Amino acid sequence: MYQERGFLASMLIFLIVRFCSSTDTITLTQPLKDGDILVSNGKTFALGFFSPTNSSNRYMGIWYNKVSEQTVVWVANRDRPITGSTGILSVDETGNLVLHENDQAFVFWSTNVSRVANDVFSAQLLDSGNLVLFQGGIYSWQSFDYPSNTLLPGMKFGLDKKTGLNRVITSWKSGVNPGVGDYSYKMEFVGSPQLFLYKGVTRVWRTGSWTGHGWSGVPAMTQNYIFNVSYINNNDEVVVVYLIRNSSIFSRLVVNESGTVERLTWHEAEQKWVGFWSAPKDQCDGYNHCGPSGFCNPFKSDSFECDCLPGYEPRSPQDWYLRDGSKGCKIKVGTQMCGSGDGFVELDRVKVPDTSTARVNMSLGLEACEETCLMNCTCMGYASADVSKGGCIMWYGDMIDTRTFSDGGQSFYIRVDAAELGTPLILFSSKPSKMDHVFESGC
């Protein structure tokens, strides 16, 4: 009787385990072969082997299960395709997910995590599109930490300060090759955290710093954005997380192989992905387009988008005349910058300069920020670090990659001398932004 009950109990456990593991889970005894597909619990995502269009190579990846057009959001063996339909994804006895071929020792991809004292290993595809590896009940690895070219809602984008992991998304090599391509998009932390799009090691575009509501350089992020965007900067991490307000909308952010960061949403009626937002958009988005201390203004009527920041003049007037702003600007000759009646002028609706040359002090309000900047002659300008919570960013070096928008952006206060403070500003011909002389220095 006792034995029988034990048998029944283990049968039941076996049945439950069988049932639970049949669709979204890989275990030691249940690997995934090419041809098998794992489907997440809510049927939103699928995991399996696929071939890109016009290719016979096999890759292990995750795609939208409910979208008619093959849309891959994550690839494991990006640069190590399998040539035949012989791939197997399994959980091995070290607690790692391993991609290999039948009876072959060659490893195409593996999670490479160290084993904890446990031998109950499994991997599960969650309905968010996240593939999670468990050692016992503890998660030891997740695909959301190692994105390919796509950022999905709920993914943390940025740095885990405890482990040092900085998540980077990289373009495919081409539409038919998911290998790691030229473009990458990642967060950098010098000054105030900003996102950068790179081509190789060259900066292409910058979001600007976080203003409290959105990125300084992404005016599309308004209050009624379809997302609830959280920016978290604490002792554990500095990340941005996009949650979609209506979970039945499919939306993804991709760094595509032509060097654009684009957000697309799925239109069920038309059965296609439609562009929602993308960057870079215009010349002024190009990183450092007008050089150090330059100011990019796409609304100017003379059709040369570069200007100098107030108090600065072109470093190379010849190049400037030929509409090449790349050498940027220098402080005007004869400027008496320190302790001689200098102050600040406000530039409105701008993407503030690259914060790589800036320092942040979150305990200073805007007025204290102005005072602190004014007292130190090497401080070139300041802005609010968070328009709702306060805090201050002060620039102590080159002010690079400043631009204006017709709407959005934030205020930037630039240090000018007394002569400049008394000069009416005629920076804009077709005045998209307002500029005010704000502070007068007492020193």
Q: Is 257 in the site for ligand NAG (CB under 6 A)?
A: yes
CA distance 43 to 28: 23
CA distance 274 to 251: 10
CA distances in angstroms from 236 to 158, 161, 341, 393, listed in the order given: 11, 5, 44, 22
Q: Which is nearer to ligand NAG, 45 or 273 (CB)?
A: 273
Q: Alpha carbon 185 to chain centroid distance?
A: 6
Output the six-digit token pair for 59: 């890759």
- Burial bucket for residue 405 (CB in 10 Å: 0-12, 13-18, 19+): buried
Q: Which is nearer to ligand NAG, 29 or 234 (CB)?
A: 234
Binding track over 189-228 against ligand NAG, x by CB under 6 A: ---------------------------------------x
Rounded to a whole number of angstroms, the minimum distance from the CB of residue 168 to ligand NAG is: 16
Of 120, 176, 438, 443, the residue at the interface with ligand NAG (CB under 6 A) is: 176
Rounded to a whole number of angstroms, the minimum distance from the CB of residue 55 to ligand NAG is: 9
- The number of residues that bind ligand NAG (CB under 6 A) is 25
The two counts, helices (H) then strands (E), for the chain are: 4, 35
Q: Is 56 in the site for ligand NAG (CB under 6 A)?
A: no
Q: Which stretch binds ligand NAG (CB under 6 A): 88-96, 253-261, 286-294, 303-311?
A: 253-261
CA distances in angstroms from 174 to 55, 66, 78, 149, listed in the order given: 12, 24, 12, 11
Q: Which is nearer to ligand NAG, 9 or 243 (CB)?
A: 243
E-strand ranges in 234-280 read: 237-244, 251-255, 261-267, 272-279
Q: What are phi and psi of 344, to 5 degrees?
A: -130, 145
CA distances in angstroms from 268 to 151, 227, 249, listed in the order given: 20, 19, 9
Kind plus residue range of the DSSP H or E element containing 150: strand 150-151
Q: Is 260 in the site for ligand NAG (CB under 6 A)?
A: yes
Q: Is 15 in the site for ligand NAG (CB under 6 A)?
A: no
Of 26, 352, 364, 369, the residue at the interface with ligand NAG (CB under 6 A) is: 364
- Report the phi/psi class of residue 365: left, alpha or beta, with left for phi > 0 and alpha for psi in -120 to 50: beta
Of 51, 278, 316, 326, the residue at the interface with ligand NAG (CB under 6 A) is: 278
Binding track over 75-114 against ligand NAG, x by CB under 6 A: -------------------------------------x--
Binding track over 373-392 against ligand NAG, x by CB under 6 A: ---x-x--------------
List residues binding ligand NAG (CB under 6 A): 53-54, 112, 175-176, 228, 230, 243, 246, 248-249, 256-258, 260, 262, 275, 278, 359, 361, 363-364, 376, 378, 396
